[in-house]
Chains A and B, each alone.
Chain A
Amino acid sequence: MPDLDPAVDYVQLLTPEGERVEHPDYSFDGDDEAIRGLYRDMVLTRRLDVEATALQRHGELGLWAQLLGQEAAQIGAGRALRRQDFVFPTYREHGVAWCRGVDPLQLLGLFRGVDQGSWDPTEHNFHLYTIVIGSQMLHATGYAMGVQRDGAVGTGDPDRDTAVVAHFGDGASSQGDVNEAFVFAASYQAPVVFFCQNNQWAISEPTTRQSVIPIYRRADGFGFPGIRVDGNDVLATYAVMQTALQRARDGGGPTLVEAYTYRMGAHTTTDDPTRYRHSDEVEHWKLKDPIARVESYLRRGAGTDQSFFDQVAAEAEELGVHLREGCKALPEPVVTDLFDKVFTETPAELEAQRSEYADYLASFEEVGA
């Protein structure tokens, strides 16, 4: 089997065995209490993901995009944000949504098809999920250029200077939009961090076929720094993102961060990965599980006692119940609401279409019990 570990370096601060290691340029500045917080985030995020996957199998969701295996990349990136930073996610950023305070039930609403994303992006500084591969990169770059024009970069005020994060996948790196975003961000020195979760697969297409060089090295050609981090190491991801975000806030321009990770599950609940990848590969990555290594550090390195783990497990159980029950109780959509999300002030013509459509719907009668 080919060696799956990149021969080239990536930033790692916590080994798969749970040992902390030094890196010349990056270090994790939190204490063990902070690491316990990251552990809790990851466990709850995984639970949310597992529960949502099960809900899809129960027939309660139309679809779910699993993040299993990518918890460290997402929690590391999500927790490095400051309140005023703004995030543009793909469709898989459930861990980042968690860090931004979005109720996971709202994620379920989207995948149940009862709404089109019901959280207020401006309340959470977390944009709606984007399914069109790569388009959010341009949105993020444009937003970052707006931040510049608002003068919210390089003032030295830690509560004002703003960074923008654009999430994307290894597959998206082949899209024109992504490359255009790189060009604009570089030309304008926009305060944006491009965060690529290289989970090795774009549905059934391996990264190695998408890019003949490691993705982070593409940044060179566009004229900004690129760095690769062990995306299954939450401490390293946090540290690298913290640096890249600060650089953006300070007016230093864009950074490309490649988080080297693995999609342990299927692309979505519709996909069957056994048709295109080997079980050996999955087994290999299981040994690099992002949560297991933090747990083993906390138990051995930080002497955390069992009651902490029990408590997190109990919280996860509660979250599971919250999601199961809450999902089934999500309100059915009112079809005419569609008309309300188009314009700030609904024009008369649309108003007329809405009432016509309401009449049409009213022409149906209730049958059955």
Chain B
Amino acid sequence: MTAPSQDFRLPDVGEGLVEAELVSWQVAVGDTVQVNDIVCEIETAKSVVELPSPYAGIVEALLVEVGTTVEVGTPIIRIGSGAHPSEFVPNAAAAPSAEAAAAAEAAGDSPGTLVGYGPREASTQRRARRTGSARPGQHAAPTGPVLAKPPVRLAAREAGVDLRDVTPTGHRGEVTREDLAAPAAAPAPAAPAAPAARSFDVPPVQYTGRVTREPIKGVRKMMGQAMSASAFTVPHVTIWTTVDVTATTRLVARLKLDPAYAGVRVSPLLVLSRAVTELLRTHPLLNAVWDEAAQEVVLRHYVNLGIAAATPRGLVVPNIKDADLMTPPDLGRAINRLTDVARDGRTQPAEQQGGTFTITNIGPFGMEGGTPIINPGESAILAFGTVQKRPWVVSADGEDRLAVRDVCTLSLSFDHRHVDGASGSAFLAAVAGSLVDPSGLFS
């Protein structure tokens, strides 16, 4: 089998999109693919989309690095019989420079039409004749309108160049920016020099001496925007309390054996979540939001409980809608599902919107307390510290003695514009009390 290799060019998966970022490769050089097997994931201005292969065969080269943004029409993967394995990977098309793109356009291989690359690969391109046999009444050059994109028209006007004096070299007889620089008939530009071959396993970061510059994008970008928006608009106050949660750890052990909780990963986080959803009813300010634009505090009669989750791609805060209406086993299942989905990096944007209160579970990192930043759109965030065995003074029958108890710290940050110290403390004290004696929560 020596079928020629075929390049799959980046399609326009939206309507009129011009570029996309390559998010991940699902195949590697040497893999065999069938038609419509997913080869990669791309992110456009509109969506994240999986691309199926139009060809069956062996992957001979991946032509674009992960993290690179390339134009529609750029070859991204080469598939063939495997008879032409690429020792070199040209990486030719990745992020072409402006000049290369313009030159390519001038050479007529720009994807002017955004569908149907297949048949057009072999078809010819057309451009206006330089010396037209234009007949009167025709809309074509030299007397008709000259084709040029608006920015080029502006540049021409600013440079005092009459577009009709310029020899067009662009696609379909269009005047390009480069043509303006050479108003006297310029020779057709040479085909772009093939970019130097580049090894493919260079990580998608630029090295500039002693620092590494990583682009701010994706989950990191969202985290950055959300956190700085919150930190610099919301006056945060953080309070904390350390309590004996031995009764909670015993309750967790008991629930694990309860058939109603079959399949649920019962944990102290479930007990805390239950305490929070119950207590927000009587502490509505902590579940409210300060609406600056409307000059209103919006009290919400439902709880969408956010759980901050560390994922491979960064922090996400999905929330459980109407968590206050759930039975404890359902709440447990919802927490399990949310954390599983987050860990797999599959949390969807809709699942992160509309939260009313957030818990951040810092225990798994071994941390006791902190000063968490409030999730935008909410009034408070509760950090759940690690549960540790500690020496603790217990009082019984009027006598104090030291005992080994399960102890943890709860840290609450709240929006001091509408939640004052007394309301914040009352809520935190009530939550802490529920962990000291959780008997009322699960009855």
Using a CB–CB cutoff of 8 Å, the interface residues on chain A facing chain B are 1, 51, 54, 56-63, 112-114, 266, 269-272, 274-279, 324, 328-329, 332, 356-357, 359-360, 363-369
Contact = CB atoms under 8 A, between A and B. Distances in A.
Contacts of A63: 15
A329 B120 CA distance: 11
19 contacts: A51-B36, A57-B52, A58-B54, A59-B10, A62-B114, A112-B115, A114-B116, A270-B46, A278-B350, A328-B116, A328-B119, A332-B119, A356-B137, A357-B139, A360-B138, A360-B139, A365-B126, A365-B127, A367-B108
B342 to A, nearest CB: 12
**Which of B114, B134, B341, B350 has the most C-beta atoms of chain A within 10 angstroms of its own C-beta?**
B350
B417 to A, nearest CB: 30
Interface in B60-102: none
Contacts of B227: none
B14 A277 contact: no
Given A274-B47, A359-B138, 12 more contacts: A60-B54, A62-B114, A112-B115, A114-B116, A266-B47, A271-B47, A278-B351, A363-B134, A364-B126, A364-B127, A365-B129, A369-B124
A54 B36 contact: yes
Nearest to B17: A270
B350 A277 contact: yes
Contact of B119 (A58, A274, A329): A329
Nearest to B118: A328
Contact of A364 (B107, B116, B129): B129
B247 interface: no
Contacts of A61: 115
B13 A57 contact: yes
Q: How big is chain B's contact interface, by range?
A: 35 or more
B133 interface: yes
Contacts of B350: 274-278
Interface in B278-295: none
B401 interface: no
Nearest to B54: A58
Interface string B103-114: 000011100001
A363 B116 contact: no
B125 A272 contact: no
B35 interface: yes
A368 B128 contact: no
Contact of B116 (A112, A365, A366): A112
Given A58-B52, A275-B350, A278-B351, A367 B125 contact: yes
Contacts of B138: 356, 359-360, 363
B172 interface: yes
Interface in B21-53: 35-36, 46-52
B13 A56 contact: yes
Nearest to B47: A272
B47 A363 contact: no
A51 B36 CA distance: 8
A62 B115 contact: yes
Nearest to B132: A363
A279 B13 CA distance: 22
Contact of A366 (B15, B52, B124, B139): B124
Contact of B135 (A56, A275, A359): A359
B117 interface: yes
Contact of A274 (B115, B141, B348): B348
Contacts of A51: 36
B35 A324 contact: yes
B349 interface: yes
Contacts of B321: 1
B160 to A, nearest CB: 28
A321 to B, nearest CB: 9
Contacts of A359: 135, 137-138
A311 to B, nearest CB: 21
A205 B148 CA distance: 39
Nearest to B10: A59
A60 B114 CA distance: 8
A271 to B, nearest CB: 7
Nearest to B141: A363
A278 B322 CA distance: 14
A57 B108 contact: no
Contact of A363 (B14, B117, B133): B133
Contacts of A367: 108, 124-127
Contacts of B35: 54, 324
B128 A274 contact: no
Given A113-B115, A368-B124, A59 B12 contact: yes
A363 B142 CA distance: 11
B52 A363 contact: no
A108 B346 CA distance: 32
Nearest to A328: B118
A360 B137 CA distance: 9
A366 B126 contact: yes
Contacts of B118: 58-60, 328
Nearest 7 CB-CB pairings of A with B? A59-B11, A272-B47, A58-B54, A363-B140, A274-B348, A364-B126, A368-B125
B277 to A, nearest CB: 16
B42 to A, nearest CB: 10
